[in-house]
Amino acid sequence: MLYAGGESVAAGQVEQDWLAATQAVPQRPEISSAGLTILIVTGVLAAPLALGLFIWRRWYRLAGSPRRPEAFSALAGAAMFFGMLLLDQLGGLVVQGLLGGDQITVGPLEDQARLLIGRYAGQAIIVAVFVWLGWRATARSARGGPGPLRASLIGAGALLVFWPMVMCASYAAGYLVEHLGDEPVDPIAHETLNLLLSSPVDGWFFVMVALVVIAAPLLEEVMYRGILQRVMVQVGMGRWPAIIATSVIFALMHLDVAQWHAVAAIFVLSVGFGWVYEKTGRLAAAVTMHALFNAANLALAPLLVPGLC
């Protein structure tokens, strides 16, 4: 027995309670009937149809896709890619210093929004260089393929094709995790999305929504499709190998904010981004597809798990 301030505490019981809490198996959040219907219809029934349409229409062929003006060399592209990684970290460190914390994890929505603003502000420096180089290259040479507006419409259509395949990958990976291991699967497998759904709807909520739906798609597509994937093609890698390699990196880079079983879905989604970028030659197509996916995820997430917001 331990005595503190005249009150006795059973040390053995405290230790047992602590062990029970740390060894408890987390419970799997319940999926609503509407959410389960969405997963089954889109992930199980529509996915084979979407994949069949993609193959039947031979949309996978990229040989006749429009060529992009050479805006920068492979070396300059590699420098911009790693520059975005570095500035992302520096921007986050600056915000952490201003907030007086050594490290920010999942916390108040306001702190998370500020952290993202700092990270994205750092990356925006490279994005400005990327846009300037692209504008200069386009001014020097004629550009074929669809215009930005039509490319955006194609990106929206591409999401309709890839959405079932993404849901199928998500459903299959989650099923394997639950039935082959002991880890429960969270239907909302992204920390930022979980944070949004559990936060009050105030000014910072809408700031975070704008960062997720607008800023993140733009910055990530510039970084991964506009720079990394383009560099891989420039150094002699075929278009499809470049799409696959970029998508592997893209998915792995999301492990800090998404549960690992969600990597399969992120990979399939990234393949869609890379494909529509190569198919149109326009980054606007990939940005539109990415933005619409994030917006749809945010809108549909409350249907998956009732009581989240």
C-beta of residue 120 within 8 angstroms of C-beta of residue 211: yes
pLDDT for residue 16 is more than 60? no
What 8-state DSSP symbol labels residue 4?
Answer: E
C-beta of residue 254 within 8 angstroms of C-beta of residue 266: yes
Give the mean model confidence (pLDDT) for residues 273-280. Answer: 96
pLDDT value, residue 8: 36
Give the mean model confidence (pLDDT) for residues 3-26. Answer: 37
Residue with tokens 């607008």: 214
Q: How far apart are CA 198 and CA 137, in angstroms?
A: 45
Tokens (6 digits) for 288: 């539109």
- Please name the residues in contact with 85: beta carbons below 8 A apart, sequence gap of 6 or more: none
Predicted model pTM: 0.85
pLDDT for residue 58 is more than 80? yes
Give the mean model confidence (pLDDT) for residues 280-308. Answer: 85
Q: How far apart are CA 246 and CA 238, in angstroms?
A: 12
Tens-place pLDDT, residues 106-124: 468 888 899 999 999 999 9
pLDDT value, residue 69: 81
- Residue by residue, DSSP assigns 35-47 as HHHHHHIIIIIHH
Tens-place pLDDT, residues 31-46: 656 566 666 667 678 8
Q: How far apart are CA 271 and CA 158, in angstroms?
A: 11
Domain spans, the chain: 29-65+146-304
